[in-house]
Chain A
């Protein structure tokens, strides 16, 4: 009867039972580890002094106040058996640990571990359907069915008691988030573009759930590629793409594979990808450190129909292998994106790439340690290129002239230009883009302190190119620390050019990043977001580090951008008190009071 008293505080709340119990134990300064140690010690004593055992163990039961004493505490053999079973579960199954991780923060891992293992053990020992059992609560004898509910202490319940308990369960279905986690979680959600009100879509909820239980999933079934892609993303983020989970993504009939974290895969896994998906045309793998020459050789041998090759960090692949790949398969490549190569891929390889991949529409090269200005010449020869993204290493001295040549020869066909960290490219580049490009929809020119406001304003004024949809001009500014207001003739995207940009592209623009363009004045913002101006398509706006931004301007932005979904305002400290429209994520405020549809929540730092 003692157990009943013991468990009554948590017995009514089955859902929060585990944490409540853990809390309870913790608050009484008892840890499962300690219980087990005690238990071991007592068991050893019991074996030494069998006659004392009964008395001892009943004492122990009294002291330990653990559910583990609920069943027959007087039988040491049974206890030992269970002990071993628990140990087996714990050793063989790492899921218990995983479980603990997935179900949230716990003060003590071991504590939970033990408890889980115990629970599993109990559940295993339950009667099978068709057998008879005594109800845990009313002790009535009843026939067990597959639908019989488990009671709070692991036993089964009769039909009546199940119903009663079900009624008790009508508590909030999920626990409220603890206030401490709130801000962190909110900010994390905001960064994912999730707005803090309303529910998430069922699809997102399910994807998260699937990701939570990824190790229990044997097969994805007929999930369409779009969902596979999303799952690939979420699992990559959780760093859960392993040899085992990889299997789920290998579908022979699919033509694309997108995995954003391959760090835990080994060479065999890459082989498996290629072997089990012979129809692949799109290979998009990131963090591919263990990828080696063989993989490329396999592709070449099989003459795979790869059109899109996106690889991040395959550093073990040699230059010779790269060259061979381009020579053999390059003619099929429509898009090639490479990131982070430090040991291989030199200028010569790049030259061969341009030579052997004449059909490239899309080329992105970022942080390739061994290439520099020299490779730029080759790009001018890519007569089908429509999308060009380049970012050299920070140390690389860039020359404007070579970029001018690219614009001159292929500028007219480009739809995307992304040139990051071409620190010293000057206004002539802008002039050339202005002159030669007339089909751009996406433009990214960042991290530059040489363009002038005048040059940028002229660039956007009377430009034959139609309005851009994607513009990223972050960090176009002067970087002289001793002169915070910048030079007299503004450097980078300042007031005039910002106004000119919005004049030119305001009607179509969807994505705009002008973070760290610190010379844009309050007045310019006021003018751009004046009453009557409207940017109907703008969904994303990043104005971080625009220190003039304040509550008033923020409201002006909301007024002018009805479709805005995300507004990023890191380091805009004058934003203190804003009322944001539904469906908008305001990211990066610190301690600001934000109102959504009349609900106030004050963030704490």
Chain B
């Protein structure tokens, strides 16, 4: 078949357009022009698309497309000029033209507003008609567009849009006037916005439509985004007036003198502008107008607002005005990522409040300080013995109070931070820094905090749920975070912990363990190592006790009176120094135990050394307790039995009285020689046995509060107690309390010694690794290694370096810059 067709010449299809000249350009154009006019007059629904399209097609085939293009443009231009323009110009009332001059004409606002709305409506309708009409024209002239459109000829639609721009918007309002429709449009919209800013409700959709018109028109035929009339004409004017407005607004609000109101209104303005841009103007304007608002309204005023006397941030903080704070925060954040104005004030306020807490905690102990001072000197004022305990207790209370106060302050600011400062990271850091700042102003912070834990672990957590305990401990840990000298805290904590452990004062071992793990998380492994080993010692000791008991039960001869022994074997390096070291320092001989006890002691030593040969056990009687069963013979002959729980020393003392006939006593010196208990401990123990009102197992002669070497002690058969079991504490020995000045000095000295060791260890560690290092590098490294534990004094480090050089661990390698080398 294909071959058959191939015979025929293919003829051009008969068109009858260019050949038959019956229809020439003009006649076709006449038809076309009338159709286009129909479209302009919105009469198109009867027109057949095909017909218009075909006419245009024919003209294009006649190679007259450029002519057609020009004709169409001309037609549309004429239409706009004659019909549309007059309509619009007529709608501009003279009030609009006049108003152009005076920007602030509140008096005639309603008249102007009405006229404006009328004008905008007419313009909007004209624009929409034009758009619709041109859309239709474009559709039917598609063929022409395809052939003609090029760089020199934009699509007909674009060309017609430009016509609207030139012949409507840029037309003068009155003949010969420089004022154009565009100018009136601009001033009218700006006037409407001004009305809205001062609280009136305006016809938003209408303005939105006019803005859309400006967004749909371009300066150039290429229609770049940046050449939108909206951007080239309207937006700059809008920003200009907005700038002026907000300059004035800032002044006005500031003059009202109320920070909260300022912030509330400013926040409201921001929301208004956002909304305005979103629903009325263009989303692209939003950042620009907000930037301007930030600059004019906020940045230039925020500092003043924050610091406003009586209504500023200070007052808001004091009165927990979260709403106000939130606004300040939001505003400040808009203009300053660091929120300096706000941060600065918050920080100052925290430190102020913290100082107050510090001061109140110092105030209490300071008043009775002189008496405490005297007390420690000797027993000159025995009558004040009772009072003596109080201030110290009070001090402890105030220490705990200090912690509680800080915690509540922290809670307050945490709350503010979370609710008003949007959990801002930067704010959190700076609030933390402020807390650290004032907490470290209190030199006893570590001790106070440790006491706080001690108190809570002994009593505070009784009857609390697990989660409550958790919160409590967490709070304490937060404070720990702020404390610079963590090693000092460790010292105190160990001291307090050892008492809790040995005297079984801890309410819950679980809570203790929890505490350790929390600390571990917060401060690190190294920190808790020793504390943990204290716990380990305790568990091992428990096993040891059981094993020993079993051993005795197995091997022991049944006749022997069984004495229950509960023993704690403590690793000397891990436990607080003063417990271990106090006796070594004085090289005192150990106290003489009564026979029964001594046997027991020897039997345990045998048992223990059997298991762990080469170890040395040193007995710490001062830390122990003993249970005694004492029989008191009443004058009426009746015997009253009590079980007494006393310290080991007290037990030793009381056992002496077994060998003393009734009615006879022992003098202080006798007791001292027979027991070899140190004065210090002996006095305290005797005080608790003979002086403390409820636990007078001994009678003292003469009856006074102070114990003198000449005093005599008798067994007190009149001892009476409502309970069978009586616990006799050692005076001022049992509870953990705030140290007095002397103790403190001792602690500090020990602390310094320990620090020296730590620093040296760090230096040697660093140097061993690096071999040679300049002075400054060594300093920095040392500081950074130690910072987790404490903040060492630079001079201290220098002295340590010197000392290490003296001891030939290090050597000076060079002077310029000063450099050290490691001596292996």
Q: Which residues of A contact B (CB under 8 A)?
A: 14, 95-96, 99, 103, 116, 119-120, 123, 150, 213, 216-222, 224-226, 253-255, 466
Contacts and interface: CB of A to CB of B under 8 A. Distances in A.
Interface stretch (B9-17, B46-54, B113-121, B747-755): B9-17
B60 A222 contact: no
A119 B18 CA distance: 39
A123 B12 contact: no
A216 B6 contact: yes
A119 B10 CA distance: 20
B6 A99 contact: yes
A20 B218 CA distance: 64
A116 B3 contact: yes
A217 B10 contact: yes
A216 B146 CA distance: 29
Contact of A120 (B4, B8, B9, B13): B4
Given A226-B147, A253-B63, A254-B63, A221 B3 contact: no
8 contacts: A14-B1, A99-B6, A123-B4, A213-B6, A222-B13, A222-B18, A222-B61, A255-B63
A14 B3 CA distance: 13
A301 to B, nearest CB: 26
Contacts of B175: none
B546 to A, nearest CB: 66
B2 interface: yes
Given A119-B4, A226-B147, A253-B18, 8 more contacts: A96-B3, A99-B6, A103-B2, A119-B3, A217-B9, A217-B12, A219-B12, A220-B12
Interface in B187-240: 224
B61 A224 contact: yes
A216 B63 contact: no
Nearest to B65: A224
Given A120-B3, A120-B4, A226-B146, A218 B63 contact: no
Interface string B464-477: 00000000000000
Contacts of B63: 225, 253-255
Contacts of B147: 224-226
B7 interface: yes
Contacts of B4: 119-120, 123, 150
B59 to A, nearest CB: 11
Pick the most buried of B8, B15, B63, B146: most chain A CB atoms within 10 A of its CB: B63
A472 B146 CA distance: 28
Nearest to B57: A224
A510 B56 CA distance: 32
Interface string B662-678: 00000000000000000
Contacts, number: 56
B175 to A, nearest CB: 39
Contact of B9 (A119, A216, A221, A254): A216
A99 B1 CA distance: 12
> In which size bucket is the chain B interface?
20 to 34
B716 to A, nearest CB: 89
Contacts of A222: 12-13, 15, 17-18, 61
B28 to A, nearest CB: 15
Contacts of A120: 3-4, 7
Interface of B: 1-4, 6-15, 17-18, 60-61, 63, 146-147, 224
A427 to B, nearest CB: 30
A601 B697 CA distance: 105
Interface-centre pick from B3, B7, B9, B147 (highest chain A CB count, 10 A): B3
Contacts of A123: 3-4, 7
A123 B1 CA distance: 9
A222 B60 CA distance: 10
A99 B2 contact: yes
Contacts of A254: 63
A218 B8 contact: no
B12 A221 contact: yes
Nearest to B12: A221
B12 A218 contact: yes
B61 A218 contact: no
Given A217-B9, A218-B9, A226-B146, A99 B18 contact: no
Contact of B15 (A216, A221, A225): A221
A16 to B, nearest CB: 12
Contacts of A217: 9-10, 12
A21 B693 CA distance: 135
Contact of B10 (A99, A213, A225): A213
B85 to A, nearest CB: 34
Nearest to A214: B10
B413 to A, nearest CB: 39
Given A222-B17, A222-B61, A224-B61, A95 B6 contact: yes
A216 B18 contact: no
Contacts of A95: 6
Contacts of A99: 2-3, 6
A123 to B, nearest CB: 5
A383 B724 CA distance: 120
B669 to A, nearest CB: 90
Contacts of B15: 221-222
A14 B13 CA distance: 29
Nearest to B64: A253
Nearest to B16: A222
A220 B10 CA distance: 9
Contacts of A466: 224
A219 B15 CA distance: 12
Q: 8 closest Cβ contacts across the A-B interface?
A: A221-B12, A219-B12, A222-B15, A217-B10, A216-B10, A218-B9, A222-B61, A123-B4
A547 to B, nearest CB: 38
A589 B77 CA distance: 54
A296 to B, nearest CB: 27
A151 to B, nearest CB: 11
Contacts of B10: 213, 216-218
A221 B7 CA distance: 20
A225 B224 CA distance: 30
Nearest to B4: A123
Contacts of B6: 95, 99, 213, 216
Contacts of A226: 146-147
Nearest to B8: A216
A217 B146 CA distance: 26
A536 to B, nearest CB: 12
A199 B663 CA distance: 128
A31 to B, nearest CB: 19
B61 A150 contact: no
Nearest to B18: A222
A299 to B, nearest CB: 22
B483 to A, nearest CB: 46
A221 B17 CA distance: 10
Contact of B11 (A96, A103, A219, A224): A219
Nearest to B58: A222
B2 A221 contact: no
B153 to A, nearest CB: 14
B24 to A, nearest CB: 14
A129 to B, nearest CB: 14
A173 to B, nearest CB: 13
A484 B8 CA distance: 62
Contacts of A213: 6, 10
Contacts of B3: 96, 99, 116, 119-120, 123
A255 B63 CA distance: 9
Contacts of B2: 99, 103
Nearest to A215: B6
A120 B18 CA distance: 37
Contacts of A225: 63, 147
Contacts of A96: 3
B19 to A, nearest CB: 8
Nearest to B1: A150
A224 B60 contact: yes
Contacts of B8: 216
Contacts of A224: 60-61, 147
Contacts of B14: 221
